[in-house]
């Protein structure tokens, strides 16, 4: 699968912080994803503070502008063609956005904050909802769509698009992390595919000791947004969360367990000391050059590991859902990456825009996305066994438990920075685990109360 590296477009986007590419518990009831709202009026003025008013868009018509951010191929045109065939009374004009996510964000912000009614619908990063909602750049979709609409999405995706109890974005396609492993080495040393982080650590150490690989487990520990993603997974696995009732919750036993384990991977020798400088590319390179047993990375790492021109482990790699801590379930949490669909609060054709969202997150469009190597967010499609033909990572989607970064706050850039700065210091051994968590906790609360660090 040729998959662009959008999950690492790990971009912390705020007024002053920019870095590149990711919700927690959504209703798990499945639906076909093709239904329409069944009550409400044909049109309604959109505003970010108005009362809930479900819109009936069953017979919508008109022309809308969709600002799309796909970087390769003809996917946007293919989707529009299929949509217009099913809904001929609605025409969709494409507005191609800049490929750089920060420039894309700035372009959209300038247009919408200036009162422009176009684009009517736009693609945006999964970490934008709270920031865009707070700046009145996105319509509160949960005011205009029935509650049943949100049942179609895979568990954990909708909460990442929620701010102050309202949903401001519809998940379009996702990305997330997996555990890659050397299946040849596990077979050689008669070891099972690990299901817990403790197993990862012990099996990696065993293979290292036997001379099977230089390193046991590589991941992302550098002082940047990617470390927030890694830490958030361990934290969720331990039963913790960054924010609780809007306040920092990083002095909890769960946070201590998460960071202590990450640090122990380094002190035990399972993970190289230089991991505190590793981003996605560095950790992947160590693995694909045959120097590590395990790798935590995003979905694109599968295809990279199977590229003969750059990988020395072609045919020797397996992939599974991220593990969890022993006694915490059958699989771990994986950070959400990808892109959502947003509606301009100034749109002049809300029913048509909602009909487009309905179709784009339904089974037909989501199947088209899967065929084009984009990870579907519609649970019916994501859980289909037929997805295995596209990629081994797609076959794992029914096992994935999504967790969002703590982006349900307008101050997310500062929150994330507090996490990755202090966690990185702890990984490097510059400060203790407890000190790192205490500092992060304090900085997050300061950011929340003062509007940024």
Q: What pLDDT sits at residue 71?
A: 74
- The residues of the chain scoring below 70 in pLDDT are 1-52, 451-453
Do 318 and 267 sit in the same domain of this protein? yes
342 within domain boundaries = yes
393 within domain boundaries = no
19 within domain boundaries = no
Q: Rounded to whole angstroms, what are the CA distances from 67 to 35, 118, 266, 407? A: 24, 9, 44, 23
Do 428 and 298 sit in the same domain of this protein? yes
416 within domain boundaries = yes
DSSP string, 204-267: HHHHHHTTS-SEEEE---SSSHHHHHHHHHHHHHTT--SEETTEE-TTSHHHHHHHHHHHHHHH
Any bridge partners for residue 180, and if so which? Answer: 295, 319
305 within domain boundaries = yes
Residue 72 belongs to what domain range? 32-175+338-380
- CATH of residue 362: 3.40.190.10
Do 123 and 188 sit in the same domain of this protein? no
404 within domain boundaries = no
Do 97 and 164 sit in the same domain of this protein? yes
CB 356: neighbour CB atoms within 10 A? 27
Do 195 and 111 sit in the same domain of this protein? no
Q: What pLDDT sits at residue 52?
A: 59
Q: What pLDDT sits at residue 382?
A: 97
Do 326 and 437 sit in the same domain of this protein? yes
Do 223 and 170 sit in the same domain of this protein? no
Do 168 and 295 sit in the same domain of this protein? no
Q: Into how many domains does the chain fold?
A: 2
Do 300 and 189 sit in the same domain of this protein? yes
pLDDT in tens, 325-342: 999 888 899 999 999 999
18 within domain boundaries = no
Q: What pLDDT sits at residue 49?
A: 44
Do 254 and 318 sit in the same domain of this protein? yes
Separation CA 342–CA 340 (nearest Å): 7
Q: What pLDDT sits at residue 274?
A: 98
Do 324 and 355 sit in the same domain of this protein? no
419 within domain boundaries = yes
Q: What pLDDT sits at residue 46?
A: 53
Do 271 and 363 sit in the same domain of this protein? no
């Amino acid at each position: 699968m040729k998959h662009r590296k959008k999950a690492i477009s790990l971009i912390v986007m705020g007024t002053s912080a920019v870095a590149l590419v990711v919700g927690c518990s959504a209703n798990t009831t499945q639906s076909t994803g093709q239904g329409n709202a069944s009550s409400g009026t044909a049109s309604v003025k959109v505003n970010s503070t108005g009362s809930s008013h479900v819109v009936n868009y069953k017979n919508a018509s008109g022309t809308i502008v969709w600002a799309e951010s796909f970087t390769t191929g003809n996917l946007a045109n293919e989707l529009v063609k299929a949509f217009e065939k099913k809904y001929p009374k609605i025409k969709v004009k494409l507005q191609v956005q800049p490929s750089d996510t920060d420039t894309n964000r700035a372009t959209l912000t300038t247009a919408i904050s200036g009162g422009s009614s176009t684009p009517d619908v736009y693609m945006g990063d999964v970490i934008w909802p709270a920031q865009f909602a707070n700046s009145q750049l996105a319509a509160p979709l949960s005011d205009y769509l029935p509650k049943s609409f949100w049942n179609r999405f895979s568990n954990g995706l909708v909460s990442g698009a929620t701010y102050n109890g309202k949903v401001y974005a519809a998940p379009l396609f996702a990305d997330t992390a997996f555990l890659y492993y050397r299946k040849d080495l596990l077979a050689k040393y008669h070891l099972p595919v690990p299901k817990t982080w403790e197993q990862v650590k012990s099996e990696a150490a065993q293979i290292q000791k036997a001379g099977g690989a230089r390193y046991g487990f590589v991941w992302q520990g550098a002082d940047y947004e990617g470390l927030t993603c890694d830490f958030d997974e361990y934290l969720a696995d331990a039963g913790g969360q960054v924010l609780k009732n809007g306040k920092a919750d990083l002095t909890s036993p769960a946070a201590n367990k998460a960071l202590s384990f990450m640090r122990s991977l380094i002190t035990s020798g399972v993970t190289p000391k230089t991991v505190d400088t590793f981003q996605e590319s560095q950790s992947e390179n160590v693995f694909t050059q045959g120097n590590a047993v395990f790798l935590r990375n995003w979905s694109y790492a599968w295809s990279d590991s199977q590229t003969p021109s750059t990988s020395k482990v072609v045919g020797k790699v397996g992939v599974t859902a991220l593990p969890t801590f022993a006694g915490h379930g059958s699989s771990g949490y994986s950070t959400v990456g990808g892109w959502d669909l947003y509606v301009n609060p100034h749109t002049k054709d809300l029913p048509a825009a909602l009909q487009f969202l309905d179709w784009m997150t339904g089974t037909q469009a989501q199947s088209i996305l899967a065929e084009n190597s984009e990870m579907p967010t519609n649970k019916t499609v994501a859980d289909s066994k037929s997805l295995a033909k596209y990629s081994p990572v797609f076959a794992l989607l029914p096992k994935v438990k999504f967790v969002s970064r703590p982006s349900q706050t307008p101050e997310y850039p500062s929150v994330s920075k507090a996490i990755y700065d202090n966690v990185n210091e702890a990984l490097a051994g510059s400060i203790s685990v407890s000190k790192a968590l205490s500092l992060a906790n304090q900085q997050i609360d300061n950011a929340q109360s003062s509007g940024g660090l």
